[in-house]
Structure 1
């Protein structure tokens, strides 16, 4: 999308007080302590092990690291991960 389109979306979101995750297709992340993480608006699972989860986002990736990971729920645009979560990190694509 062009920069102008993104600026218009951001302006409309602010003016109409709409949730940014809906209008701008941003991920929504809900954590309960270090035990659960619920992620919405992802574009797919890139990598999963008992210590790492890597998701594709609209812009970049999301990396979750920890231990004893179990995918409790996985749907096309949302998932629930359980285990000990140590780090949640956004990875931006190069050149953007």
Structure 2
């Protein structure tokens, strides 16, 4: 999408107090300590092993680094990852 359309959507989201994750199609990430991460609005898994999981989002790649990582649940737009999470990074 063009930058102008994104700016209009963001302004509209703020004026109407709508959630930005829905209006701008952004991922919503919830962490429970360093043991579990819940990601909504993902676009697929790029890489998966016990030390690193990379997930595609509309905002770029999300990289999760840790130990004994496993995917507990995965559905169309939601994913739950468990393990010892050491870092979460965005590559935009």
> TM-score normalised to the size of structure 2?
0.97
The corresponding residue for 2:83 is: 83
- Gaps of at least 5 residues in structure 2 are none
SS at match of 1:18: coil
**Displacement of 1:77:** 1.1
Aligned length: 92
Q: What corresponds to 1:45 in structure 2?
A: 45
Q: Equivalent residues in 2 for 1:60-71 (5 A)?
A: 60-71=60-71
**Residue in structure 2 matched with residue 29 of structure 1 by the alignment:** 29
Q: Which runs of 5+ in 1 are unaligned?
A: none
Cα RMSD (Å) of the superposition?
0.6
TM-score (norm 1): 0.93
SS at match of 2:8: helix
